């Protein structure tokens, strides 16, 4: 009976992870059973197969990924006691193409789910929103000194709408900018999308959320 092994490679960055997986699968007859974004750009791929094949694949995959970016670890667990599908969420081919996960549980709570285009935009917009957040943290005086931003043809400014929050939405004032951005992306009928949400400051986000809720 052939002995099985679980192999794992943890890299920094998606490109290095894809290179590691590609080389590992080309090196020997192994199966890519999972990928997961661990944190801060770290991505782990897991492969499964016979012990010798997994060892060769992990060695080759880690070496290839190291030419592109940092490889944090590469490890092989020969003859794992438990089925690796119990240790790591297994992604069957019928589930569709592999999409990078964000490390959060899926609807069933079993493991990382796919990242939507809006979630990718949110991550990309974190750095873009730093300047807006810095302005807001300077203090109320500096914020009030800035000219209010017009909201289309409604004739109402951001400050006006924020001052007239309807019942049930007063809590928006106490939310952080990032919380408001996440809420905006989940709000149906909101007028701003994608990078516009990433660049919007707190006043703009509250005003657009309120307007969408009214509609």
Residue-range domain boundaries for the chain: 4-114, 117-214
SS3 category, 7: strand
- The dihedral built from the CA positions of residue 170, 173, 175 and 180, taken in this order, carries a sign that is positive
Q: What is the pLDDT of residue 165?
A: 67
Q: Which residues pair with 74 in a beta bridge?
A: 9
Q: What is the pLDDT of residue 188?
A: 83
Q: Which residues of the chain have pLDDT under 70?
A: 1, 82-166, 215
Whether the predicted model's global pTM rises above the 0.95 cut: no
Is 4-114 assigned to CATH 3.30.70.1710?
yes
pLDDT, position 24: 92
Helix (H, G, I), strand (E, B) or coil at 193: coil
Phi, psi of 42 (to 5 degrees): -80, 130
Query: Which pLDDT score is estimated for 172?
Result: 81
pLDDT of residue 150: 44
The pLDDT assigned to 59 comes to 93
Q: What is the pLDDT of residues 179-199, one digit of tens each?
A: 888 888 888 888 888 888 888
Distance CA 186, CA 128 (A): 20
The label of the residue with tokens 């970016």 reads 69
């Amino acid at each position: 009976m052939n002995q099985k092994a679980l192999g794992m490679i943890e890299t920094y960055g998606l490109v290095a992870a894809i290179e590691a997986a590609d080389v590992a699968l080309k090196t020997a007859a192994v199966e890519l059973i999972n990928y997961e974004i661990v944190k801060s750009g770290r991505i782990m791929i897991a492969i499964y197969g016979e012990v010798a094949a997994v060892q060769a694949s992990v060695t080759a995959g880690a070496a290839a990924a190291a030419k592109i970016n940092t490889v944090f670890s590469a490890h092989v667990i020969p003859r794992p006691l438990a089925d690796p599908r119990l240790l790591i969420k297994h992604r069957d081919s019928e589930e569709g193409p592999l999409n990078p996960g964000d490390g959060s549980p899926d609807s069933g709570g079993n493991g990382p789910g796919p990242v939507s285009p809006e979630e990718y935009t949110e991550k990309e917009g974190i750095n873009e929103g730093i300047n807006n957040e810095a302005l807001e943290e300077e203090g109320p005086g500096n914020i009030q000194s800035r000219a209010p931003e017009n909201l289309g043809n409604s004739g109402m400014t951001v400050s006006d709408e924020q001052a007239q929050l309807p019942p049930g939405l007063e809590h928006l004032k106490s939310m952080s900018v990032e919380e408001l951005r996440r809420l905006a992306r989940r709000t149906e009928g909101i007028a701003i999308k994608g990078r516009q949400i990433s660049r919007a400051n707190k006043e703009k986000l509250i005003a657009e959320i309120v307007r969408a809720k009214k509609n």
